[in-house]
C-alpha cells in the first residue's frame, strides 16, 4: 500500500507528499496507485512471464488428461465411485487453474510495468494441496 504512494510522491516531484494534502485526504492510496506511470519492462521478463503462464496451462492440461484417463479406467477399481470422483476433481482443478494462471499473469505483468514487487502465486498452494489430497484418495481407491 505504501510503495505506490511513495512512487506517486516521487513522480509528482514531492508535491503530493505535502502534509496538508495528506491530512486533508485529498490523495488516497488508490489515487496514488492510479498515478504510477506504467513502463513496459525488459522483453526478457515479459516473455519469461508468458512461459510461466504456459507452464500453468500445460499443468492444467495434464490434470484434465488425468481426469479423462481415470474416468475411463474407473471400472478397474474395486471402489469405482472413488476413482470417478478423483477423476472429476482432477478435471475441475484443471479447469480452474487456467483462470487463476491468467489472473496471475496479468498481475505480474502489471507489477513489472509499475516496478512493484511481484505478487505471490497462491494457485501453487491450491495445486499442491489438491494433488496431495487426490493422490491420497486414489491410493485408498487402489488399496480398497
Residues engaged in binding another protein (CB under 8 A): 40, 43-44, 46-48, 50-51, 53-55, 57-58, 60-62, 64-65, 67-68, 71-72, 88, 91-92, 94-96, 98-99, 101-102, 105, 109
- The Cα angle at residue 45 between residues 120 and 119, in degrees rounded to 5: 10
Q: How far is the CB of 121 from another protein (least distance, A)?
A: 15
Q: How far is the CB of 40 from another protein (least distance, A)?
A: 7
Show the cell assigned to 10. Answer: 516521487
Specify the residue, 5 or 105, whose C-beta has the smaller distance to another protein.
Answer: 105
Rounded to whole angstroms, the Cα distance separating 29 from 23 reads 13
Could you give the 3-state DSSP secondary structure of residue 123? helix
Q: How far is CA 120 from CA 66, 83, 117, 123, 133, in A?
A: 27, 33, 9, 9, 22
Specify the residue, 72 or 142, whose C-beta has the smaller distance to another protein.
Answer: 72
Q: How far is the CB of 85 from another protein (least distance, A)?
A: 12
Q: How far is the CB of 43 from another protein (least distance, A)?
A: 4
Amino acid at each position: 500500500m505504501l510503495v505506490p504512494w511513495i512512487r506517486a510522491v516521487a513522480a509528482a516531484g514531492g508535491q503530493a507528499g505535502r502534509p496538508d494534502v495528506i491530512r486533508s485526504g485529498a490523495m488516497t492510496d488508490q489515487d496514488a496507485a492510479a498515478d504510477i506511470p506504467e513502463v513496459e519492462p525488459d522483453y526478457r521478463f515479459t516473455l519469461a512471464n508468458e512461459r510461466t503462464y504456459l507452464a500453468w496451462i500445460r499443468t492444467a492440461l495434464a490434470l484434465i488428461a488425468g481426469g479423462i484417463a481415470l474416468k475411463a479406467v474407473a471400472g478397474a477399481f474395486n471402489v469405482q465411485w472413488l476413482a470417478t470422483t478423483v477423476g472429476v476433481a482432477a478435471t475441475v482443478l484443471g479447469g480452474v487453474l487456467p483462470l487463476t494462471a491468467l489472473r496471475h499473469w496479468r498481475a505480474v505483468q502489471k507489477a513489472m510495468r509499475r516496478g512493484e514487487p511481484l505478487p505471490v502465486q497462491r494457485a501453487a498452494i491450491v495445486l499442491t494441496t489438491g494433488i496431495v489430497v487426490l493422490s491420497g484418495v486414489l491410493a485408498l481407491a487402489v488399496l480398497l
